[in-house]
Each structure stands twice: as structure tokens, then as C-alpha cells.
Amino acid sequence: MAVKAGDLESELLDTVCEQVREELPDSEAESAEAFVRQYYHWVPADDLAGRKTADLYGAAIAHWRLARERTPGEPKVRVYNPDRERDGWSSPHTVLEIVSDDMPFIVDSVTMELAREGFTIDLVIHPVIGVQRDRDGRAVAVLHPDALTSEAVPESVLHAELVREPDAERLDRPRGSIGRVLEEVRATVDDGSRCAIERSSLSRSSSAIRPPWDGRRSTRCAPSWSGWRRQLPFLGYREYELVGDDQGAQLKAVDDTGLGVLRGRKSESPRHLGRKAAVLARAPHLVVLTKANSRSTVHRPAYLDYIDYIGVKQFDTDGNVMRERRFLGLYTSSAYRASPREIPLLRGKVQTVMERAGFLPAGHDAKALLEILESYPARRLVPDPTRTTCSRSRSGSSAWASASGCACSSGKTHSIVSSPAWSPFRATVSIPRTDFRLASRLQLAWLRDRIYELPRANRWQALARAALHEDLLGVHRELTREVLESASDGERADAAIEGWESHNRPKLERCLSTLADMRASRTYDTTTLSVALREVRAFVGGGNEGEPTGGGLADRHRVTRAA
């Protein structure tokens, strides 16, 4: 927990401020001292202990000089290895300094990008400081955010200390990537209201949507789905047209419709869809709800989280798909904790599974099956295929077989959540069996236990542990999907696993050798476990190139990459 530095380190902070008054001219000293006091105000006292006054002064004043002149709306980014002769202070770390307008998501988005670039974070300082500037962008006064005037605005000041990187060429990478992430954060925040307008217009028009089939269930769900969609914090929006026939179908981005992370991107040439992808794109499903393969650069502190995707198709008077309105975001944690019976796009699936199971509504078997459906992870219910037929069963094991494919319903029910027509999820019992066999073969349970044992003494250790765990779950899920999708119709899980192992033999041997070396060394920390995860992650991506991972217009795995 952060403790005010003034409570335990007031003497040290006073010494730093005294140096400010001594070193800087009177015209600058007052504002600089106010900046320094706010800079260290909420830093944990333990993080200040043992540091030299000169280095505390140097770090704060270096950031002050970066912030002193800035045009509103312009982010300033600096990444360097402090050198006493050159910079007036030194540090054993590589230092990242950012000054920008205060916006949501900055800390999480920046730390995600640093992790993506392979940097390890030791400390983050992030005060929000009120700054009044003249017309030329020069700071003339520093105020507390609670005492802002009409002429002062809150500005985000972020200082991150990273494990030292001596490679000057590698230091150049985060300068550009952090700037790009800050631009995407700005676009996401600025376009939030415009996206809300698009959502509202969609809600108002939902009753007029008429897909080319009996869509009574779908149109009843549409208004409630429009309200539940607020559980998807906005990241991006764009509209796409579907042109051509099944032999030459193309997906074309509509000019000037991009918002958020898709704003300002040049429209690409129409993308040609394969035969199977074209069939999927033209399927008469009103709403597509799945995960894109693009990874989020904004908002979510989870490690490399995949973007959630909602697409709403529009039909012409003949019932043909002509356009899709695409929303990108990340579901809130409350959305994943909600009962599937409370989620418009899942309640029909639950009802279908219960009906096809054939149990007496008040009987024990029906209650047990419903409990399984309620406890099944919502993040796996949402994007999983819906075409698998849930078998009628009365035994507990068969009930689990049905539940393990509980995202499924008969294609004849016209579920508004689509699934790939080419998806090989035919036998639901194959899903848990393949999942288990992969975990056993790649020693994922052992790897998970080692991650659980990592320390959580502070916030960053806890975030690192959670990030590794999230990544492990995501890799396991994607591997299971890829193995099943590579299987031939009717092929058993064991045969699919054997085929996958044969295809990936060199990777498998290298991965198992790395894990064996790690177990022999008995060295389990964030660094070694990240290496282990990298070896496991190397298997992902071996599926059919060009095919989507779930329902929807088939280009969403490259969805005008929001990364």
C-alpha cells in the first residue's frame, strides 16, 4: 500500500526541495519545488529509502525539464540510461519519462507495452499534476489537482524504472511504441462519445432489423443486448462492406467510419475471402460475438489480452448480408462473473442445452447440469462454437460432455451467435479430453503450480504473477482449439493429439528439454517462467492460416490490427 512520502521521509524530501531552491533560479524554483513535492507525494517510503538526495533531485528535475514546455495534446516521451556527467544524476535502471494530458488507461496501457517489448518494471511513479501554461506551452504555475483554476489542467506525469538495458538500439524501440500507444489512448478517450452515439443508433434501429429467417428470438434479444453491450468498454469501431459473390467475396472498410484505435487508419484494398470464410461472412446471423486475434494495447492491465469483438450485420431487402458494424473492446470483469442466464447472447444457449438434455425440470440431473453451466467460464462460453449438438443424456459424465460444449446449440435454432461452418467441434467430449491431454503432454499443470508459487509482496509482483497465469490460460485455450480444428471429421481426440505431436516434433522436444532443465535447476521466478511460457507459446499459430478463430466476418483475426 502506498504511504505518503511526507509521513516517513519528510526530512529527505525537504532536503531535496532545499537543493531545488539552491540550484534553480528564483523564477523557476517555486514551480519546480511544487512539482517535486507532488512528484514524490505518494511514492512508498521503502522505495525512497537508501537513495541519494542528489539522485532523487536529479530524477525529479529531469522530469520537470521535460514537462516545462509542452503543447497541450502533445505527449512527450523520453527513454534513457541516466549518466551523472551528462544528466546530472545516475541510476542503475533504464528510465522512462512521460508527460501527457491526463487520461484514463495511461498506466495500464504503458506498462502493457513495456511488457510486450520485453522490459521488466521495478518502479512506477505516476502523479497527476495541475499545470498552468502560457500560450507558448511554457509552465508558469504548478497547482495541486484539487485546486485547479480555469487556466490550469491536470497532466499525467509517469516515471518508470526498468531493468537496465545497455543496448542503445533496443532503447529506441519503446520511444516509438509508447508514443503510438498514447495516441491510441487519446483516440479511444476522445471517440468514446461518438461510439456511444453509434451504440444508441443501433439500439433504436434494432427493432427494424430483419434477417432472412425467423428472427423473433434474435430481435427480442437485440434491445437487451444493446444495454448489456455497455459491459464492453470501447476501444474501436468501424464499418465494413461485403461485396462480390461466394467465388470472389471481398471485405472492404468503409472510409471515414473508424473510431478509437481504428481511427485515421488508411483503408486497405478490399480483402479477398476464401470460400469457407465467405460462407461464414454471409451466414444469416444478426450478431457476431467473439474474440479477435489482435491483442489490446489500451486499457487492460492483463498481459497481452485479446480484444473482444462485437459485430452487427446489416441486410438488404433480399436478406443478403451487405455490411457489418464492428465494435472492439474488452469486457469488464463483471461481465465474465455474470450468470449466463443474465446475458442476452447466452441465455438462449443455456435454454437450448437444458431442453436438449431432456431432464425433468425439477429433477436432480437438471439442477446439476444447470450448476455446471452457471460455473462454466463465461469467457469460454462467449466465443466457443455453437453448432455442436448437445447430446441427450442422463448420466453425470454425459451431462459433463454436454456441458463442456455448453456454448453449443443446434444450428437449426438460429442462435444469433454464429460459429464457423468449418469448425470441427463435432464431439463435445473431445474438448475436455484434448484439453487434458495437452496439459499433461506439455506439463502445463506443473507450470501453473510454479506460477502460483511466485511471490505477491507488492502490486507489481502480483500483476506479474497474474499476467503469467492469464497468458498460460490463453495459450492452453488456443492450443486446444487449434488441435481440434486440425482434426478430420470424426477423428478422435487421441488421434488428433498424435497428429499434432508429429507435426510439432522439433518444437515439442525443445520445449520439454527446456522444462526439464528448469526443473533440474529448481530456479522458479518470473524470468525463468516467462522463458517456459515462451516455449509453450511457440506452438500457437499452427492452425490453418487465413481462417478465423470464431464466428463473424472472417478477417477479424487481422482486424485492421489494433496493435
What percentage of residues in the chain have a pLDDT greater than 70?
A: 72
Nearest to 387 by CA among 357, 440, 349, 434: 349
pLDDT one-digit tens code per residue, 479-509: 887 787 776 655 566 777 788 888 888 888 8
- According to DSSP H, which parts of 24-166 are helical? 26-39, 45-48, 53-67, 84-87, 106-116
Q: Which three cell numbers stand for residue 98?
A: 512521460
What percentage of residues in the chain have a pLDDT greater than 90?
A: 21
The answer on pLDDT for 221 being more than 60 is no
Q: CA 280, CA 146: separation in Å to the nearest integer?
A: 53
Place of cell 449438438: 389
Range scoring the smallest mean pLDDT among 207-216, 244-253, 510-519: 207-216
pLDDT for residue 424: 33
Which of 104-108, 214-218, 317-321 is the most confident on average? 104-108
pLDDT for residue 49: 77
- According to DSSP H, which parts of 81-167 are helical? 84-87, 106-116
The enclosing H or E element of 311 equals: strand 306-315
Residue 105 CB-density burial (10 A; 0-12 exposed, 13-18 middle, 19+ buried) = buried
pLDDT for residue 385: 42
The answer on pLDDT for 378 being more than 70 is no
The enclosing H or E element of 279 equals: helix 275-281
Pick the residue with more confidence: 209 or 169? 169
pLDDT confidence bin for 520, thresholds 50/70/90: confident
How far CA 18 is from CA of 32, 57, 58, 158, 491, in Å, comes to: 11, 10, 13, 23, 76
Could you give the 3-state DSSP secondary structure of residue 79?
strand
Which of 166-170, 208-212, 244-248 is the most confident on average? 166-170
- Can you give the pTM of this predicted structure? 0.62
pLDDT for residue 38: 93
pLDDT confidence bin for 211, thresholds 50/70/90: low
**Strand ranges (DSSP E) for 197-286?**
234-243, 250-253, 259-260, 271-272
Pick the residue with more confidence: 74 or 228? 74
Residue 259 CB-density burial (10 A; 0-12 exposed, 13-18 middle, 19+ buried) = buried
Q: Which three cell numbers stand for residue 152?
A: 490550469
Averaged over 345-366, what is the pLDDT? 81
pLDDT one-digit tens code per residue, 144-190: 877 777 778 899 999 999 999 998 888 888 988 999 999 999 999 88
- According to DSSP H, which parts of 328-429 are helical? 333-337, 344-357, 364-375, 378-381, 396-404
What DSSP character marks residue 396? Answer: H
How far CA 378 is from CA of 334, 357, 382, 406, in Å, comes to: 10, 20, 6, 10
Averaged over 15-33, what is the pLDDT? 93
Place of cell 499459430: 541
